[in-house]
Amino acid sequence: MRTTTRLAQWLRRSGPFDRDRMPSLGELAPRPLPVKASRRLFVVDLPEGDVPGFTIDVPGWTGHTADRKWTSTWLSEGYDGILFRGKGKDKTRIVPNGVESTVMFDRMPGVVRFENLTVVCGSRHGIWAGLEHPEEDVEPLFRLETFHVDVLSSGPRTTWGVFTIQCDVDLRSGTIDTTNGLEHTLYVHGVAQFGVYLLNMTFRSTAECVKIRSSTTETRAVPGAALGVQSCVFAFWYRDGSSRGGGGVVCQGTGLKGISVKGCFFRNLGPNGAIPSNQRTRAIMIDDGEGDYYSALDGTPREGPANGHVLIQFCGIETGPGSENLSIVIRCGNLGAGHKVARSFRVLDCGVWGQRLQLQLSDIPSGKTVVEGNNTPALAELSRLYGVDTSHEALIPLPDHVIPLSEGLFR
């Protein structure tokens, strides 16, 4: 790695780099949520065609007219959860039939899983997993799973595609598209035990694609949980008509011990080369939730690091163009003040391309920031095979000058 004299001088001023005490890459790799070896799910086979939306353990105020479902039906028989199995994407469609939330269920000691189907969003949600009960204990077995499932917005009023509260989330091999909506594609409020795992998913959003937040007023702390995002595509974020800011992966005071984004592709370009809002350049954003968070160390409210160890590796990002002041493409930093945002932060082996973009990295302990092996000639060549314009690379501002991402940073 080439390092300029000025950068070397600045690094010496910034203190020792603590590579030996960083967690290993194996520890930070995306990990699927554990599955009980003897797990049994109660299977509901859904027919081809449109199936009306439904609720589980939610009373009648929702407006649903289909038969309500109750966990006592299967949990009392020793099942670990329920599986709704369709005949294939677009063959089986769960539709809202005029209700705000197509599928709605409250927390339960078990799994709700969907396979091989499409969920069409209502005016508020496609899937709403867990109502808000901040005064109640966490249910560690509560989990939402999808496999070969698309969640699609049905009109301009959809607010969220998938919305969860105090629920573990495991989504694989599907698409969530709310580009006709108002807010976020996947919005996670706290977790149940293990965290969130996303594999081979595609996200398109009016505002933020994947947002995770653990407010002390809305959720309970779950120390030891993690986020793993692997081999996902983020094709749009922050479209016209959004009622919120934009971003690809947004982690606001998660309290999670680890955040891993690996092998993902982010692409969001301005229309016809015009300079878009700087919200459209924000691929990965890590912050402290304006100081409203649980510690990633032990769950203490509003104390200690707001997030744990962060790894971004083998990702391709093309966005922009940014503003003359350099728009943010990757950020780690406070929205509040006075505490660390991440225990460590690594950006490794990525290609990050676009005009007037910057990595803004702050509020990380000394010796715990690594930016290495990015925008190499080999990565540029690989990026061009995917149609990426590699003419401009992202930049890193230092106190007295700016360096290209390919130059690297240790501090």
Q: What is the distance between the alpha carbons of residues 334 and 337, in angstroms, rounded to a whole number?
A: 6
DSSP 123-178: SSEEEEE----TTSPP-TT-EEEEEEEEEE--STT--EEEEEES-EEEEES-EEEE
Residue 269 has a pLDDT of: 87
Cβ-Cβ contacts under 8 Å for 69 (sequence gap 6 or more): 54, 55, 56, 57, 82
Residue 64 has a pLDDT of: 80
Q: What is the distance between the alpha carbons of residues 222 and 226, in angstroms, rounded to a whole number?
A: 10
Provide, rounded to the nearest whole percent, the portion of the chain with pLDDT above 70: 92
Q: Is the pLDDT of residue 384 over 60?
A: yes
Residue 5 has a pLDDT of: 43
Residue 7 has a pLDDT of: 42
CB 250 within 8 Å of CB 261:
no
Residue 17 has a pLDDT of: 60
Confidence of residue 276 (pLDDT cuts 50, 70, 90): low
CB 120 within 8 Å of CB 95:
yes
Q: What phi and psi values does residue 381 have, to the nearest 5 degrees?
A: -65, -45
Q: What does pLDDT average to over the chain?
A: 91
Instruction: Kindly tell me the sign of the dihedral angle through the C-alpha atoms of 161, 244, 268, 210.
Output: negative
Q: Is the pLDDT of residue 261 over 70?
A: yes
The residue extents of the domains of the chain are: 1-18+207-411, 40-160
Which of 267-281, 295-309, 369-383 bottoms out in mean pLDDT, i.e. has the lowest? 267-281
Confidence of residue 19 (pLDDT cuts 50, 70, 90): low
The mean per-residue pLDDT over the stretch 36-49 comes to 96
Residue 172 has a pLDDT of: 98
Q: Is the pLDDT of residue 13 over 80?
A: no
Q: Is the pLDDT of residue 393 over 70?
A: yes
| Look-up of token digits 């959004």 | 242
Instruction: Express each pLDDT in 168-223 by its tens digit.
Output: 999 999 999 998 888 999 999 999 999 999 999 999 998 999 999 999 999 999 99
Q: What is the distance between the alpha carbons of residues 241 and 169, in angstroms, rounded to a whole number?
A: 28
Residue 18 has a pLDDT of: 64
Residue 275 has a pLDDT of: 53
Residue 63 has a pLDDT of: 78
Instruction: Express each pLDDT in 330-369 by its tens digit.
Output: 999 999 778 899 999 999 999 999 999 999 999 999 999 9
